[in-house]
Structure 1
Amino acid sequence: MMNRSTSLSRRLMIGAGVFITAALVIAAVLISFVLHHFVQGQIDQRLDAHILFLSSMLDVDDSGNLRLAGSADGPPFDRRRHGWYWEISGPNNVLRSRSLDGTDLTPPDIHNRHPPPRRADDDPPPRNRPAPADGVGPDDRMLHFRILNVSVSGVPATIVASAPRDAVRGPMWQAMRTLALSLGVLGIALICAMLLQVRLGLRPLEQLRRAVADVRSGLRERVPDAQPSEVQPLAAELNALLEQNAANLERARKHVSNLAHGLKTPLATLAVALQKPTPGAEDLHDLVVLMDRRIRHHLGRARSAALGGPVRTRTAIAPRVADLVLVLGKVNADKAITFVNRIPPGLAVACEQQDVDEMLGNVLENAYSWCRSKVAVGSTQEGRSIILFVEDDGPGLSPEQMSQALQAGRRLDESAPGFGFGLSITRELAELYAGSLTLDQSSLGGLRVAIRLPSASLD
């Protein structure tokens, strides 16, 4: 099972880092092999050229001794004990370079070497070509030898030329240091390019995450369809899931609404009828109140479950207040009511629109009914919650009346129409969204109703 904390970017970077490192190491090995072969070839060509030069100057005197027709101690064979030596050995005498300073050059024996196996289609081995060998020379210095057996006027001779192994290793180390620096710079550039590529490649996933967060917070209804081809199937499935959840939510809301209208109104009518002084009415009234409380409890649980899905709604407050005030102004046209709207244009809550309409409608209707001449609506932001308040300049309520006003079916003024469920329904709706409803004295002199609801900017 894959670890939940596994990161796609980390996996991509680790995989690319391992590949880049392996590629650079293999490149360094191959380049070092090519450089060694090239430097070794240059040294061999230089030694072979000197051996051919020596063989062209080699002669035999009347006594059968080997001799040179001129000087052969040009650079670098004129430097004493530096590893650049030559020696010609014959049956009667030995000729040495001045760099040997009188010591003998003892090259490895190449006569007992077994030649490598040859296939039938291989070219014949070249003749009169120096053979390579490695060994220890004077002063225990590691030398690289080139050895050629020749015959001068019937006298056999062996011509040996040597170069220090440092002549190969020195240029190799210098080249490898430059190569290592170049590969290091290349590796850093590749890693930076890889990090940029991973960041750019995973950017659509980050954009998709933000889009899903916007859907969850109610800023948008669906994920944008314009996605890269690799992310498009995921975006399409998310949109399909959102549409399905929205349809299920709408069906659940309709069932809850139908049940609420089917039960609340008969119960409210029965509660009002039982308030008349008749035998046994008090017991039946308590039973009706208990039934109403249980129905509201289960309706609230069903509604909360429907609203607790992955789809978060967003309702702007200012347009809803404007629509409600327009209707209430026409209903209360006989009263000269001044309405003050302090709702910011961009304010929104994470609630269903019809719930917002019902909550604000109940509170504004009471404010218009009881005010003398002024109603004010405003809001404040407290953390992740928005508090909507409605104030009027009416007679207001005492603390005892405020507690009674929130009880279902309790009407403080029997002469007014209605069943006394407005504020209790508003409080229940606010509590479904983890909010609250409180009553207080208004600065205008009347009642102040405060509704706390979740902000639409919640993640």
Structure 2
Amino acid sequence: MKLAGTADGPPFDRPGRGWYWKISGPANVLRSRSLGPADFELPDLGNRPAPPPPPRPPPGDDGPPKDRPVPADGVGPDGQMLHYRIATQTVAGVRVTIAASAPRDAVLGPLGEAMRTLAISLAVLGIALITAMLLQVRLGLRPVESLRRAIADVRAGVRERVPEEQPRELRPLADELNALLGENAANLDRARRHVSNLAHGLKTPLATMSVALRKEAPGADDVQSLVLLMDRRIRHHLGRARSAALGGPVRARTELAPRVADLVLVLTRVNAEKPIDVAQSIAPSLAVACEQQDVDEMLGNVLENAFAWCRAKVNVKAAVERRSVVLTIDDDGPGLSAEQMANAVQAGRRLDESAPGFGFGLSITRELAELYAGALTLSRSELGGLRAEIRLPAA
């Protein structure tokens, strides 16, 4: 029995394009018009591994037919790579083999295009997810960064406490930090009060003894040396205690302009009988990394001397030099010689016995400045009197 018929519809009517079909029977072979006089050999399917079994169909579904066409790849008559589908059927009791081919690019092209589109979509989705994750992490950690900056401000002395307005998750941490800061501040205040009480309780009697001994007979030199030794040791240990208290976790910050303005107002009223022209040149934002009461004590000692010895003019100015603030107080008084300047910063050395006091003001100012890694320098003023420069660390 010979096979007869044709199926040369598009695209099997275009020669040399790779779209071919062939039906092989026992007596003859039918070929597509696109093959022309050429022919192609079917790939050997004998050594191919058995395909995996199809998935179990759902109930009520017969599933795919068991005699489905078998896919295969091979070379066409023009050396072109082709993709085949081969099926064996029984027609009118005759066993025939039906094969159809298509260019491999025509099969893999849409698949590659679909995979490319899928890859681009997955890449865009991945980038979007990563961006969303980064934004979520950044936005989620923003309260933590805000809390870190608040703690840094506390350490720098800009604020005393961490803001209590925090997200619910961070509020317990902020409360604990504020409690710790309050406890540290209370301990520091207690330690400073004890040191201050000890200083006032010992320095004044020692100063009185030193002044009294200088007025006694010459035989009191040994006692005078003992008094000076006691004074040095007390100052040494008080300085160590104060330095330990200042070296805590919270750094102080004191603005200079309001402190100078308050002291000048008080001293102007105290010296109301003497007209004094006070010029102040201090930036409002200028601050030092020192405790306020120490700044008040240093400024008070130096300004009090300037108001006491000036004739009619006192200049106060401050400037930043690298990481330090230099506060300069000039007066137009009589001034001091080089030897007097050296003696003025010594504890208990009074240059004018007729004036009230014990001679500890400038020495205390020098010690406090050195406690903060600063210095007190005396020199000749441009106004003709004394210039006192206090160098302190900038906040």
Q: Same fold (TM over 0.5)?
A: yes
Given that 2:86 and 2:97 are in contact with CA atoms closer than 8 Å, whether structure 1 keeps it comes out as no
Mapping 1:13-24, distance limit 5 Å: none
Q: In the superposition, relative to structure 1, how do residues 102 and 128 fare at CA in structure 2: closer, same or farther (>3 Å)?
A: farther
Mapping 1:8-407, distance limit 5 Å: 64-68=1-5, 71-100=6-35, 101-103=37-39, 105-106=41-42, 108=44, 116=53, 130-136=68-74, 138-139=76-77, 141-152=81-92, 154-407=93-346
Mark the CA change 1:129 to 1:412 in structure 2 (over 3 Å): closer, same or farther. Answer: same
Seq. identity, %:
67
CA distance 1:89–1:330, shift in 2 (3 Å): closer
Supply the distance in 1 between the matched residues of 2:57 and 2:345 (Cα, whole angstroms): 110
1:105–1:249 distance in 2 versus 1, CA, 3 Å: same
> 3-state DSSP class of the match of 2:390?
strand
Partner of 1:455: 394
RMSD, matched Cα: 2.8
Query: Would the aligned equivalents of 2:23 and 2:29 in 1 still touch at CA under 8 Å?
Result: yes
Q: CA deviation at 1:173?
A: 2.0
**In structure 1, how many angstroms separate the alpha carbons of the residues matched to 2:308 and 2:133?**
69
Kindly indicate whether the alpha-carbon contact (under 8 Å) linking 1:223 and 1:235 is maintained by their aligned counterparts in 2: yes
Tell me: higher relative CO, structure 1 or 2? Use CA pairs within 8 A at least 6 residues apart: 1
Distance in 2 separating the partners of 1:386 and 1:103? 99
* Paired letter, 1:143: H
Deviation digits for residues 104-144 of structure 1, max 9, x if unmatched? 5435558x968849979876565585422314354464432
Counterpart in 1 of 2:353? 414
Deviation at 1:411, TM superposition (A): 0.7
Is contact 1:128–1:148 with CA below 8 Å preserved after alignment? no
Shift of 1:299: 0.5
Q: Helix, strand or coil for the counterpart of 2:4? A: strand
CA distance, structure 2, for counterparts of residue 285 and residue 162 of structure 1: 122
Report the CA distance shift for 1:180/1:398 in structure 2 as closer, same or farther (over 3 A).
same
Q: Distance in 1 between matches of 2:13 and 2:63?
A: 33
Give unmatched runs, 5+ long, in structure 1.
Answer: 1-63
CA change 1:305–1:151 in 2 (3 A) is same
User: How far has the Cα of 1:316 moved from its partner?
Assistant: 2.3
Deviates more, 1:250-259 or 1:447-456: 447-456
- Quote the Cα distance in structure 2 between the aligned partners of 1:126 and 1:270: 118
Deviations 1:44-90 (A, max 9, x none): xxxxxxxxxxxxxxxxxxxx32212xx42122212335432222233
Contact 1:108 1:133 in 2 (8 A): no
